[in-house]
Structure 1
Amino acid sequence: MTTDQKNDTTTINRCFMTTGLDRDTPIYRFVPWRWIRDLLVDENLALVRPENWDDPYELINRPIQVDVIDGRGARARKILDGSNFEVFSMSWTTKDMADTMLRAYSKLSPAKGEVDIFDLAAHANEAVQISTTVGKLHDAIAHSLKNTPSFERLYLSKVEYVSDSLLSRRVGGIYANGPDFGKTSDCVASLLSLKRDAYEAEQEIRPIVLLNDAAKDVSVLKVKINPRELIDSISIDPRLRSSKVSGFQMQAYHNRLVVIRDWGFGSKIRESHLYSASPMFESILEIDSPNVYLDEDAKARWRAFLTQHQMNV
């Protein structure tokens, strides 16, 4: 076995995916324009520390109080401090161009005046949606980190959403191996795979990277990737195709398209039709379907209509 083969085998043994997570599942992520150049041109996939996210229940480096109770009524308490790992992650979703996600993660900022002249600084908080698959994301990160000395574990995890009360019980159950195991790598991954059901609309998939303390001063982990291999599609905010946004005439969809083409990703552009509509809405009425509730008189009228106006298809 060659050295490269040994390294690949070692990497595989340190990389895990949630059971039942299909490698071919499409996943999506909104990337702000302030980061998109770093991804497409500089070829960096940026993972951040979860404790910097908005949700205070990302329990990686927070002390966790576990009250242990048995059937006899005995009770003891254990305080578990932060993990022994430097933890980095990022959020992807299985939902393609959802309206609520778009409005949360892409903030349109038209320039003052009638024409929106696009530049990265002025529209830093506006985002594009990129897509890939579970397998491509896993392989890209694993391949990039395999020779990183501080690399310990990679998990690709599907987030489970539970009630606040169930979260408390599930967190305690993560420590089933005993009071002295602390926040092991599996514990860390399990904690980051649980969220309160208030966030259920996000339908997250998370890569979770664990490094040793050699990375203690790293604030953002930049993983080198090949964006042409990783990314399947790029979608510009579809609201920009509207004639007006916030009272300003928007001509910048094309301007943004030109930027992405100039970076060499024109073939990856996929137009979203979230806000597109044909002049006439089309519907189908299957009068004999068990899911259509028509009385016999109504069916008779529709049959008469069919007899008079049947189309040749």
Structure 2
Amino acid sequence: MTSGGPIMQSGMLVDGPAGRRFRLVSRPASPSDAGTVVFVHAFAEEMNKSRRMVARTARALAAHGWTVVQTDLHGCGDSAGEFRDATWDAWCSEVRDELVHADRGRPLWLWGHRAGALLAAAAAVEPRPELHLMLWQPALAGAQHLQQFLRLHAGARIVGAQKHTGGPSPLQRLRAGECVEVGGYELAPSLTHGLENARLDLPAGWAGRVVWLELSALDPPALPVPAAQCIARWRQSGVEVDAQVFAGPAFWQTQEIEECDELLHRTVQAIAGSAPAMPRHGGTAQQVPA
């Protein structure tokens, strides 16, 4: 497998429904019409932990002829606004806006990571034969994902980082219309209400491919039961799902920044049809049968 060709990258601020947002575009240096990949990042600190892996993968895809668009959603990264200003509806609108700007008729991938998979699926409301989904460790239900994030608040109490008042839980306060601070992030009900009600699903008549890549700490690697059930349900409805599970670090939540070359390799292989040769770091991989 080849390593691909040279690439170009450009960063810019673009106007959006909720304010200006930062967009980084990676593309091949030579003309190519392979298609577009729109990345939808993970939630809060998982986004920051994942930046290196996402950046490496975006460059690898660009080297294989694809235009990759990475956008910081409103209140995140280098985009306008504070995290407390973000709303789920605005985030969905920003993802849809990126789809509108992509070339119609050319292959188009929505690449969602963790909660970004929920946003990607919510934004893909119009079944299009050229629109496909690349899912990295997708969250299946926003309510569960939010509860996992809020456990950071409980953990901070245990180690004494925050004073325990014995009052309502962060989730109870959010449902009552209050903003809460969790793990250094200020959450507003306008964001968490939408996240809590989000579920990973596809619109009726989905015509594109779905590639589901899952990292597992089990030996041998295995999909969690809810993920396997979701995949089976999609396949029964006629959706083409390429599900792969393999060993690798949960880089989006590790204390130190980690990478997974195997994930990069499989992502480029699935989208571009070929991938750069990557060193293998042991472990086994499993193709999830249809």
Considering only CA atoms, is the larger Rg found in Structure 1 or Structure 2?
Answer: 1
Bin of the TM-score, shorter chain as denominator length? under 0.3
Greater RCO structure (CA 8 Å; 6+ sep): 1
What TM-score do you get using the length of structure 1 for normalisation?
0.23
Task: Tell me the TM-score normalized by structure 2.
Answer: 0.25
